[in-house]
């Protein structure tokens, strides 16, 4: 298929601008002007519509496909939240309004959204206060790492290290590293949890924090989680909760009750906002009592006359993490989702997510190796190692699933499981969809034994076959040129 | 309902298949001492009730005023096709294109976005998006540090204060030395930059047009910087690039910017779109997702995420950045917007913005006691000096139906009487004239 740039016809236009109603002589000096014109496409509106409509058909999406991409919580995104986010009273608001004298009265509804969502997230996670500023999960982690640094600096501690388990998301060590920390990685034990003794041996007064996902990326809830928090607190290290897997524990456990000091939540995962091909997400961060003073400015506060305003006057605050209040429309959709589901609905979300994952795991473990065979939470990791003898890898299984209209699980992650396939069905998938997936996976296991070539050839139903990724990285071509 | 399809019968069947008697048994790892101590949320509501509540909240916001507020985030018209196409669920409800064969729609769109950003900035390569203009600028600073191995950065104070604040927050623990240089007569001070630049400097960060609206040609600064092995980062307003000299034509090394003006609603501050473009030689040091062209076995063109060995899911703590989710959907809106406007429309748009702002400057200049700062040319935003505090004037004009601009005293000490006014293509001659009259009456 051609690129939109390749569909260009000299002098064709796709949009009508308002006529210029002012009579002004143009007199900007040449030296400030661009010499070459930007080669944007010259196409009609219909050209653009057909082009992107055709491109849309070339994507798998939750609306069209089962999408059990582990760690990404690809649940159904309800339509009503889109309508809420598209009210003009929200879309047309400038983010600087509350910074301008007298203008915060123009955005009371929006400030209330931020304020209310912070309160709701506190109750959901058991934390003392939240900031909605972080723009994605990893941005929340960076905010968390900054909070950790601010805390120790204030305490005059010199701390150099952050501990992560080897099963962690790659963002955890990356976020801590860019905030200035060195990383200590602790291996996973036989039960699928961070090795507790190993962890204790690494813990000392040079450690600033430990970052954990619970349940972890193997889908396992660490039953010693409280002990980990307690041990860390003994040396005044902080404990960070990566909320990427929060969908497993709504109403069941709260990081704040367990002893975590900092939490980030991926709103786009647990609270059902669309993932938009890789974003926008949102990664609000919650903290325990002792860290409230370090949260980013400005804070949204409710005044005694029940109006909302911004507060900057926080001497210990780490400063601005974002220009405004985070990805506001994502926050708004989250609010609408929480309101519709309510207390019982959210609890049912986690119960069903866990039920669906365990159902799949039990059915699939007869056909694919399961390194950690125990009750899982919202996701689990199987492996293609049993299929390796026929030269079938996780990637071959992934490509065949595409031919069957199913988005593959996350493959080759977590790094500690060989030929990993990380499956997260989510609560919105029906038993029928799960059964169809099981049937396809059983078929794959049989093909691996009797006709492995069929898997090697996949996919055959897509607009392109398997792509040469090595060539892409070798002969880098990152843009179209005339 | 709660978007969960299961019947009680199905739940029982599934529990039986798992070998447990109830769902509760699946949560046995959450022992009593780990259980939630509270979960006091309101009960769920129907869609109708939720809609009524949010309609009420939306109505508590007032978006009926005529706005001349910009300050880095602009009120441009968004063609209907942008919303219509970008909200297609096949785009909207997909995720990062890890599996290229079933994500060609996304990958090709991002490749087109990267191309459009390269065209706007006149630079060689662009990434698939960053969170916003501020984070993009921070990522560029970190990239310059990686490239040069130096740890000092010069920041022009004409760079948006919010971005500067973010930059300083993020680097608190990294022992990076920042030197801020002043804006003199509206423009980057060459003299001050010369006095602080040296061979330990990694980069100079500039903004064009700067926060006061002034356009500059930074070519001389770039030349000087390159003599000392210093990189130049320029934060740009993309709509202005339809008219003004792009970073590439000044030999700038890395360009970043806020893409909100390319088809994104103001949305009370987000989601927005950070973009980054750079010279080819720095491509492997860039943060974020990057899409590249390749072929399948039949030699058919296709697109994939490439240079992934820079990224956190593979490199962990040694990655070039921690970014995972970006702002893909916003990038899609931007490339649709730019395609609709097209080569000529985009230039026309920039010209229209500029002319309307020039017209406004002419009217304001005639108001007694108001001085339009004229020491630098401007694009669609400019600075007024008022005889009174600007924040009080803004407050007064809100009652008359205008958000007349941004009071600069909010961000700059000593500029309490200065007002930053932006004029986009949405403002008519009548609205501008009415603002001038209202302002005059309010003084």
Work out the pLDDT band at B315, boundaries 50, 70, 90.
confident
pLDDT at B317: 87
pLDDT, average across residues A414-420: 96
Q: Which domains does chain B have, with CATH numbers?
A: 66-76+343-442 (3.90.1150.10), 80-337 (3.40.640.10)
A301 close to B (CB below 8 A): no
Task: Find residues 62-101 of chain B whose CB sits inside 8 Å of chain A.
Answer: 62-63, 65, 67, 69, 71-73, 75, 77, 79, 81, 84-85, 87-101
Residue A194 scores a pLDDT above 90: yes
Establish if A207 belongs to a structural domain: yes
d(CA A274, CA A292) in angstroms, rounded, equals 30
What residue has token string 């079933």? B102
Q: What is the DSSP string of B288-305?
A: S--EEEEEBTT--EEEEE
Does residue A96 lie in a domain region?
Answer: yes
> Among positive and negative, which fits the CA dihedral B210, B121, B176, A264?
positive
Q: Is residue A17 part of a domain?
A: no
* C-alpha to C-alpha distance for B122 and A39, rounded to whole angstroms: 10
Cα–Cα distance, B266 to A106 (Å, whole number): 14
- Residues 230 to 249 of A: which have CB under 8 A from any B CB? 249
**Contact criterion met (CB < 8 Å) for A459 and B348:** no
pLDDT (tens digit per residue) in A295-325? 999 999 999 999 999 999 899 999 999 999 9
Measured distance CA(B252)–CA(B206) in Å, rounded: 10
Half-sphere exposure of B272 (CA within 13 A, CB side): 29
The residue to which tokens 């004037």 are assigned: B393
* Per-residue model confidence (pLDDT) at position B311: 83
| Cα B204 from Cα B233, distance rounded (Å) | 6
Asked if the C-beta of A35 comes within 8 angstroms of chain B's C-beta atoms, the answer is: yes
Taking a contact as any Cβ pair under 8 Å apart, which residues of chain B between 332 and 391 contact chain A?
Answer: 332, 335-336, 338-349, 351-352, 354-356, 358-359, 362, 377, 391
**Domain containing residue A117:** 82-339
The Cα B59–Cα B51 span in angstroms is 12
Position A480 in a domain: no
A4, A171, A351 ranked by CB distance to B339: nearest: A4
Mean pLDDT of B237-246: 98
Residues in chain B: 443
CB contact under 8 A, B339 and A51: yes
Burial (CB count within 10 angstroms: exposed 0-12, middle 13-18, buried 19+), residue B392: middle
The Cα–Cα gap between B7 and B439 comes to 65
The pLDDT score that the predictor gives to residue B323 is 87
Contact B420, B71 (CB under 8 A): yes
The interface residues of chain A toward chain B in range 258-277, judged by CB-CB distance below 8 A, are 258, 266, 268, 272, 274-277
Whether the CB-CB separation of A286 and A143 falls below 8 Å is answered with: no
Residue B145 has pLDDT above 90, yes or no: yes
Per-residue pLDDT, B312 = 84
Share of chain A above pLDDT 90, in %: 99
- Residues of B within 8 A of A298 (CB-CB) are none
- Please, what sign has the CA dihedral across residues B81, B87, B88, B94? positive
The answer as to whether A142 is a domain residue is yes
In A312-411, DSSP assigns E strands to: 380-383, 410-411
- Check if A44 contacts B (Cβ < 8 Å): no
Are B108 and A479 within 8 A, CB to CB?
Answer: no
Report chain A residues whose CB lies below 8 A from the CB of B31: 223
**β-sheet bridge partners, residue B233:** B205, B254
Q: What is the pLDDT of residues B385-441, one digit of tens each?
A: 999 999 999 999 999 999 999 999 999 999 999 999 999 999 999 999 999 999 999
Are B292 and A476 an interchain contact pair (Cβ–Cβ within 8 Å)? yes
Record the tokens describing residue B91, joined without a space. 């785009």
* Residue-level pLDDT at A1: 95
Calculate mean pLDDT across residues B171-183. Answer: 95
Average confidence (pLDDT) over B276-289: 96
pLDDT at position B310 over 90: no
Domain with residue A251: its CATH number is 3.40.640.10
Cβ within 8 Å, pair B40-A26: no
Q: What is the ipTM of this complex?
A: 0.98
Residue entry with tokens 């993932």: A275
Q: Does B323 sit within 8 Å of A40, measured CB to CB?
A: no
Residue A371, in any domain of the structure: no
What is the per-residue pLDDT for B319? 87
Q: Does B8 touch chain A (CB under 8 A)?
A: no
Query: Do A345 and B268 lie within an 8 Å CB cutoff?
Result: no
Q: Considering only the beta carbons, identify the residue of A18, A102, A274 that sits closest to B398.
A: A102
A-proximal residues of B, 175-204, CB under 8 Å: none
Q: Residue A421 pLDDT more than 90?
A: yes
With CA atoms as reference, the chain B residue closest to A83 would be B51
B352-365 per-position pLDDT tens digit: 999 999 999 999 99
Nearest to A67 by CA among A56, A58, A76: A76
Give the number of A-B residue pairs with CB atoms closer than 8 Å: 700
Taking CB atoms and an 8 Å cutoff, what residues of chain A touch B106? 55, 59, 277-278
Distance CA A45, CA A53 (A): 12
What are the tens digits of pLDDT across the range A86-144? 999 999 999 999 999 999 999 999 999 999 999 999 999 999 999 999 999 999 999 99
Question: Nearest residue of A to residue B278 by CA position?
Answer: A478
Buried b (16+ CB within 10 A) or exposed e, A175-189: bbbbbbbebbebebe
What pLDDT does residue B38 have?
Answer: 98
Q: What value does the mean pLDDT take over residues A220-246?
A: 97
Which pTM does this prediction carry?
0.98
B195 to chain A, minimum CA–CA distance in Å? Answer: 25
Distance, CA of A18 to CA of A327 (rounded, Å): 31
- Pairwise CA distance, residues A137 & A288, whole Å: 19
Q: Determine, for residues A275 and B36 on separate chains, whether the beta-carbon distance falls below 8 Å.
A: no
Q: Is the pLDDT of residue B313 over 90?
A: no
Closest to B257 in 3D by CA, of B279, B241, B243, B280: B241
B50 in Cβ contact with A338 (< 8 Å): no
A115 within some domain: yes
* Residue B29 to chain A, least CA–CA distance (Å): 6
**Hey, which residues does B90 pair with through a beta bridge?**
none
Beta-strand pair A420-423/A410-411: antiparallel
Contacting residues of A for B110, CB less than 8 Å apart: 277
The C-alpha torsion from B387 through B393 and B394 to B395, rounded to 10°, is 160
Our count of domains for chain A comes to 1
Among chain B residues, CA nearest to A184? B317
Is the model's pLDDT at B115 over the cut of 90? yes
Q: Is the pLDDT of residue B314 over 90?
A: no
- Label residue A382 by pLDDT band (50, 70, 90): very high
A341 closest CA partner among A64, A75, A65, A66:
A75
Residue B417 phi/psi, 5-degree rounding, is -95, 10
Tell me the nearest-neighbour CA distance from A440 into chain B, angstroms. 17
**DSSP symbols for A229-241:** HHHHHHTT-EEEE
Residue A448 located in a structural domain: no
Q: What is the mean pLDDT of residues A229-244?
A: 98
Q: From the list B28, B289, B302, which residue is nearest A278 (CB)?
A: B289
Q: Is the dihedral of CA B116, B118, B122, B124 positive or negative?
A: negative
């Amino acid at each position: 298929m051609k690129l939109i740039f390749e569909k260009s016809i000299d002098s064709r236009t796709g949009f009508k601008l308002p006529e210029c109603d002012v009579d002004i002589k143009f007199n900007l000096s040449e030296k400030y002007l661009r010499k070459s014109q930007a080669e944007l496409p010259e196409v009609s509106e219909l050209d653009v519509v057909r082009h992107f409509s055709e491109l849309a058909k070339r994507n798998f999406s939750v609306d069209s496909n089962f999408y059990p991409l582990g760690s990404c919580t690809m649940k159904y995104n309800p339509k009503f939240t889109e309508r809420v986010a598209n009210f003009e009273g929200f879309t047309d608001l400038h983010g600087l309004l509350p910074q301008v004298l007298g203008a915060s009265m123009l955005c009371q509804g929006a400030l209330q959204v931020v304020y209310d969502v912070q309160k709701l997230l506190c109750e959901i996670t058991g934390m003392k206060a939240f900031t909605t500023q972080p723009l994605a999960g990893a941005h929340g982690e960076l905010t968390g790492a900054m909070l950790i640094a601010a805390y120790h600096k204030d305490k005059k501690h010199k701390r150099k290290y952050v501990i992560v388990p080897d099963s962690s998301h790659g963002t955890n060590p990356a976020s801590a590293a860019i905030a200035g920390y060195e990383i200590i990685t602790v291996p996973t034990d036989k039960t699928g949890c961070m090795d507790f003794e190993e962890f204790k041996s690494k813990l000392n007064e040079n450690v600033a924090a430990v970052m954990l996902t619970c349940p972890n990326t193997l889908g396992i809830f660490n039953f010693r989680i409280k002990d980990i928090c307690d041990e860390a607190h003994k040396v005044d290290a902080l404990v960070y909760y990566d909320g990427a897997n929060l969908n497993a524990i709504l109403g069941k456990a709260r990081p704040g009750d367990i002893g975590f000091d900092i939490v980030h939540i991926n709103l786009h995962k647990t609270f059902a906002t669309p993932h938009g091909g890789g974003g926008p997400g949102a990664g609000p961060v919650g903290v325990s009592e002792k860290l409230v003073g370090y949260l980013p400015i400005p804070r949204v506060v409710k005044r005694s006359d029940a109006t909302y305003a911004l507060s900057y006057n926080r001497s210990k605050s780490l400063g601005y993490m974002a220009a405004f209040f985070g990805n506001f429309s994502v926050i708004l959709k989250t609010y609408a989702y929480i309101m519709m589901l309510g207390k019982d609905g959210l609890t049912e979300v986690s119960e069903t997510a866990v039920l669906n994952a365990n159902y799949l795991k039990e059915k699939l473990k007869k056909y694919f190796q399961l390194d950690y065979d125990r009750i899982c939470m919202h996701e689990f990791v199987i492996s293609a190692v049993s299929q390796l003898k026929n030269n079938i890898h996780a990637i071959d299984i992934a490509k065949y699933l595409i031919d069957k209209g199913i988005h593959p699980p996350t493959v080759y992650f977590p790094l500690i499981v060989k030929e990993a396939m990380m499956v997260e069905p989510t609560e919105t998938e029906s038993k029928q969809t799960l059964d169809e997936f099981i049937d396809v996976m059983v078929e794959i296991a049989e093909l691996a034994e009797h006709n492995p070539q069929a898997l090697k050839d996949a996919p055959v139903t897509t607009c392109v076959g398997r792509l040469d990724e090595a060539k892409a990285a070798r002969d880098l071509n990152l843009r179209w040129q005339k | 309902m709660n978007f969960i399809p299961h019947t009680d019968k199905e739940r029982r069947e599934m529990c039986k298949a798992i070998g447990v008697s109830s769902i509760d048994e699946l949560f046995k790892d959450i022992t009593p001492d780990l259980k939630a101590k509270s979960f006091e949320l309101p009960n769920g509501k129907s869609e109708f009730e939720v809609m009524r509540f949010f309609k009420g909240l939306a109505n508590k916001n007032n978006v009926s005023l005529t706005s001349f507020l910009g300050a880095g985030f602009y009120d441009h018209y968004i063609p209907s096709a942008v919303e219509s196409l970008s909200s297609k669920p096949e785009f909207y409800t997909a995720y990062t294109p890890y599996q290229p064969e079933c994500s060609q729609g996304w990958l090709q769109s991002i490749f087109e976005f990267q191309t459009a950003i390269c065209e706007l900035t006149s630079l060689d390569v662009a990434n698939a998006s960053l969170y916003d203009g501020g984070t993009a600028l921070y990522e560029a600073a970190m990239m310059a540090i990686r490239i040069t191995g130096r740890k000092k950065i010069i920041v022009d104070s004409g760079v948006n204060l919010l971005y500067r604040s973010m930059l300083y927050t993020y680097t608190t623990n990294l022992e990076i030395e920042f030197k801020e240089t002043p804006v003199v007569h509206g423009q980057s001070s060459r003299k001050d930059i010369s006095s602080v630049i040296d061979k330990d400097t990694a980069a100079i960060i500039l903004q064009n047009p700067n926060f006061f609206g002034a356009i500059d040609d930074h070519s001389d600064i770039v030349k000087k910087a390159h003599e000392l092995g210093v990189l130049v980062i320029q934060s740009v307003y993309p709509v202005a690039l339809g008219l003004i000299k792009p970073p590439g034509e000044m030999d700038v090394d890395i360009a970043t910017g806020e893409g909100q003006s390319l088809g994104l609603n103001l949305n009370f501050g987000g989601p927005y779109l950070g973009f980054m473009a750079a010279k080819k030689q720095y491509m492997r040091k860039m943060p974020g997702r990057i899409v590249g062209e390749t072929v399948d076995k039949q030699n058919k063109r296709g697109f994939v995420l490439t240079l992934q060995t820079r990224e956190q899911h593979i490199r962990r703590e040694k990655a070039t950045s921690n970014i995972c989710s970006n702002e893909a959907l916003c990038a899609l809106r931007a490339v649709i917007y730019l395609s609709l406007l097209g080569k000529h429309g985009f230039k026309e748009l920039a010209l229209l913005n500029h002319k309307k702002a020039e017209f406004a400057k002419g009217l304001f200049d005639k108001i007694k006691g108001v001085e339009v700062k004229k020491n630098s040319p401007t694009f669609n935003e400019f600075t007024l000096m008022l005889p009174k505090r600007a924040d009080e004037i803004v407050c007064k004009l809100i009652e008359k139906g205008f958000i007349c601009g941004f009071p600069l005293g909010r961000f700059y000490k000593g500029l309490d009487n200065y007002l930053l006014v932006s004029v986009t293509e949405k403002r008519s001659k009548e609205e501008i004239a009415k603002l001038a009259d209202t302002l005059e009456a309010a003084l």
